[in-house]
């Protein structure tokens, strides 16, 4: 049962434009969300997080938006750079998750120079 879903396996964006990566979840108890970036042959690296008490968190070019009623979050990257080309995973946890983070299947972002 996939509790966190990333329905777009891939996304291509021109350099300088906005990249929007989407993530949906089914468990209404989830209250903490993370985004990770993964390059080939490397482990995932943390990008940005948001807790359910907020609907937006910003860190430089990266902004995460949370819509609790829709059980949806999105990661905006502005402006997109070729070095942003990677696989992006969203992850979620809740008070009943038993220290587990549930990950989506990832979206492969390609930023075209």
Partner 1 sequence: ETGVTQSPTHLIKTRGQQVTLRCSSQSGHNTVSWYQQALGQGPQFIFQYYREEENGRGNFPPRFSGLQFPNYSSELNVNALELDDSALYLCASSPKTSGGRNTGELFFGEGSRLTVL
List interacting residues with partner 1 (CB under 8 A): 4, 6, 32, 34, 36, 41-46, 49, 51, 89, 91, 93, 95, 97-106
Q: Phi and psi (nearest 5°) for 83?
A: -65, -10
Q: Phi and psi (nearest 5°) for 50?
A: -155, 140
Residue with smaller CB distance to partner 1, 105 or 110 = 105
| In the complex, minimum distance from the CB of residue 46 to partner 1, in angstroms, rounded to a whole number | 4
Residue with smaller CB distance to partner 1, 24 or 106 = 106
Question: Are 100 and 76 spatial neighbours (Cβ–Cβ below 8 Å)?
Answer: no
Question: Structure tokens of 105?
Answer: 């299947």
């Amino acid at each position: 049962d996939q509790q966190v879903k990333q329905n777009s396996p891939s996304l291509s964006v021109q350099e300088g434009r906005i990249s929007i990566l989407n993530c949906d979840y089914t468990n209404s108890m989830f209250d903490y969300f993370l985004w990770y970036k993964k390059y080939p042959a490397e482990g995932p690296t943390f990008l940005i997080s948001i807790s359910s008490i907020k609907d937006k968190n910003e860190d430089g070019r990266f902004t995460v938006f949370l819509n609790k009623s829709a059980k949806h979050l999105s990661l905006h990257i502005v402006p997109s750079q070729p070095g942003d080309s990677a696989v992006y995973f969203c992850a979620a946890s809740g008070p009943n998750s038993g220290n587990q983070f549930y990950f989506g299947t990832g979206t492969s972002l390609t930023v075209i120079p």
